[in-house]
Structure 1
Amino acid sequence: MDSLTALRSVVRGRVWLPGDPGFDAARRPWNLAIEQPVAAVAEAADADDVAALVRHARATGLGVTAQPNGHGATGRTDGLILLRTTRLDTLRIDPAARRARVGAGVPSGRLQAAAAPHGLTGLPGSSPVVSVTGAALGGGLSWFGRAHGWIADSVTALDVIDADGRSRRVTATDDSDLFWALRGAGGDFAIVTALELTLHPAPHLYGGRMLWTAEHAPAVLEAYRRITATAPEELTAWLDLLHFPGADPMVAVDVTHLGGEDEARDLLAPLERLPRPLSDGRRVMSVAEIGSITAEPTDPGPGLSRAELLTGLDDAAAKTLLADPITPLLSAQIRHLGGAFARPSDSPHGPLSEPYALYLFGIPADPATAQAVTARQRALAEALPVSGRKPFTFLGPRESAADAFTPATLERLREIKHRHDPRGVIRSNFPVLG
């Protein structure tokens, strides 16, 4: 029996080998534009299954890469065993301690739904289907990051399987180097089976999307600049230039406010004075409903994205952003950062001094469109005031850890990798040695 066929007797969860019915579906990442070649797929039944798989891989010279459902996949998986952690779905809330224990397969929306009845929240991103663990391992840019920092900053402990197949609990006092690396540099150092994190008070939330036709984009952008120049940390606003197939171009502002409606409307007064929008979805909402604001797809699909950090959004940048249609892109999004993001963070990325993030997205319907999307992304990025570094959580398939971290940070991460996994048993989407 070869080492891959032996997986069926090593783990209790499901195993797919090349040629098996369902193999192609099992190995497919979230982004269908990415081809993800793997030697096998194993869906772990529990943490013991993960440990058994890692020990088998180590003994047979194989490598393991872990994904709940493949957000952030890069396709750098040839010859590896793809470990699906979807069934690691433990979720426990301790309201009194404001703490959650979250399995590696738990999506953000499920955590939000469990925390909301207690007046608490995690740090959700725009999509409710991204796993909490995956977001935290990448650092994590949350709707509430201006108030509470990186998602990783709220992680207090991680349960991991190390490269020797041993179960360990990692905290700031128990292997502080590994704790530091895992909170923002991905899963290249150990396989996380669960984590514990601090929940934050959220007795009130007001949020939603305002949408206008593109003719109002200059006025909307100017209002957005005025709002973000003085916004308190409880307020987050994202600007979206949108052009969906078959529709006229539009501009939107998405907002969340950790506070009451009256205060939020006062803070958003520049938007209130604009021409009547096509729609205004702002309302008092539960933190469990936050995924409805941008209404991102909850099923896999193809996409090409590029992210940058902006050093500012001055008159020249605003003019550049609106100079030409974004087509063939579907969206060009500006996220306001600052606040707690800019404060000290004991994580690989550290504080974000850049006040805005830029996220550009298009669909590669065919090779020519893919080339046009990439060219438009590059042209916009080169024309805007970018800092030259990127959030690890937003890296694209052709980028590497070196695009997110300083040379000193990358050197420290590589030393930790060599110390904890000298044989390279565990591989992340963006290996620090790659």
Structure 2
Amino acid sequence: MTGKLTAAVRGQVLLPGDAAFDDARQPWNRAVDQPVDAVVEAADADDVAALVRYARAEGLTITTQPNGHGASGHTGGTILLRTGRLDTIEIDPAAGRARVGAGVASGRLQAAAAEHGLTGLPGSSPVVSVTGVALGGGLSWFGRAHGWVSDRVTAFDIVDAEGTSQHVTGGDLFWALRGGGGDYAIVTAVELALAPAPQLFGGRVLWTGEHAAVVLEAYREITATAPDELTVWFDLLHFPGGAPVVAIDATHLGGEAEARDLLAPLDRLPQPLSDSRRVMTVAELGGITGEPTDPSPGLSRGELLTTLDDTVAATLLAEPIAPLISVQLRHLGGAFAQPSDSPHGPLTEPHALSLFGVPFDPATAGAVADRQAALAAALPVSGRKPYTFLGPAESVADAFTPEVVTRLRNIKQNHDPYGVFRSNFPVRA
């Protein structure tokens, strides 16, 4: 492979035995083992097309990751394509549109859009790629107001399984890429509609863990009548070596006075340890939860809750969350529950649940997984989850209905019959 592959592309090629190979093949989540036969950092979109033509001719498979988020480890025998150098951003303020390369991180788009009083649909982390989020559907701070990230996509620039570049704005391939993963083509750029964001208020309020029950009750009170412009998350946190704490994270697409009125139940709670809520720009959203911006190991499990009644609240608080580091509830509803012509369709469950721990050693990894499974079994989960919530042991069948899985497999067969592409969660059985 060495000589042919190096001659086929202009970008950097790394193979087993090269000094930088092991670092280059790593996913963002260091708890996931990611075996690959080679790593290619494409120079540009034309280089991506050249790589696909090479792989097609040689009967090889490509798995694509800008920076490794969402990795499942299903990469054995593949060429890992890094698209980080496809990093252009174009903003059309008059049209309220953006075109971003496949390597553009959410925080960079937010910074560019903020200059024009506009916003994308960012999640909690500023370092995930916009394209990766859109391919997985995408949950956002502003999803209650504007729906899935994928609902805002207006076009994809792709390289198909023959190595031909295309601009896709409709049809079955467009439908599949808007939330069905990246198993059908390599996306080199995405165009999406931005949203107006003339005002934003947000931040985190933190209390000691003994106040978890009253903070959760305040979360339930606020979310029961929250307008779509308000998003509130509830967090149980227990970092190693520290005491348990509880937090409310919130954003409001509107003015400070209105936001504080909507969040008034928080002001009736005990004195917090800290309160970072303030007027901010959409470029500052990544600082609310303070998620790590460097690769690290972790074990995540995501679920969707069908209700958050007294029994559910009591179950969440019945025992300490350790060995988990965080248990998070995200309020959904609003535009998420509206019709969506995407593989997942409307997200009708009212709350998303995220369970996270760090596998410091094999024993801890097992304990984290057991605690996650026990909590999920004790709570009213819907049995499906967003694509971006999938863990290494799960599949597209955990995200989509059987009918949608069949449709996605047919699209895969029609557009990539020889299996040139393999996404983090392949649609084929």
Matches within 5 A, 1:7-406: 7-172=5-170, 176-406=171-401
Large movers: runs of 4+ above 3 Å:
none
Distance 1:425 1:76 in 2: 14
Letter of the 2:22 counterpart: D
Q: For 2:147, give the aligned amino acid.
A: G
Partner AA of 2:182 in structure 1: G
- TM-score by structure 1 length? 0.98
Q: Secondary structure at the match of 2:315?
A: helix
CA distance in 2, matches of 1:427, 1:5: 23
SS in 2 for 1:6: helix
Residue 266 of structure 1 and its aligned partner are, at CA, apart by: 0.5
Contact 1:211-1:278 within 8 A present in 2 as well: yes
Give the C-alpha shift of residue 4 in structure 1: 4.1
Specify the code of the residue in structure 1 equivalent to 2:103.
G
- Report the CA distance between 1:136 and its aligned residue: 0.3
Write the letter of the residue equivalent to 1:42.
V
Q: Which runs of 5 or more structure 2 residues have no equivalent in the other structure?
A: none
User: Which amino acid letter does the alignment assign opposite residue 69 of structure 1?
Assistant: N
Query: In structure 1, what residue type is equivalent to 2:178?
Result: R
Aligned residue type for 2:260: R
Structure 1, residues 378-418: CA drift from partner, whole Å, max 9, x if none? 00000011000011111101100000000000110000000
Output the CA distance in 2 between the equivalents of 1:258 and 1:374: 36
Kindly, what percent of the aligned residue pairs are identical?
74
1:361 positional shift: 0.3
> Alignment length, in residue pairs?
429
In 2, the alpha carbon distance for the partners of 1:168 and 1:16 equals 28
For the residues of structure 2 that align with 1:261 and 1:90, how far apart are their CA atoms?
A: 34
Q: Deviations over 1:120-164 (max 9, x none)?
A: 000000000000000000000000000000000000000000011
TM-score normalised by structure 2 residue count: 1.00
Residue type of the partner of 2:17? G
Q: How far 1:431 sits from its partner (Å)? A: 0.6
Q: C-alpha root-mean-square deviation of aligned residues, in Å?
A: 0.5
- Tell me the alpha carbon deviations over residues 176-221 of structure 1, each in whole angstroms, 9 at most, x when there is no partner: 1000000101100000000100000000000000000011100000
Aligned mates of 1:399, 1:102 — CA distance in 2:
30
Q: What amino acid is aligned across from residue 15 of structure 2 in structure 1?
A: L
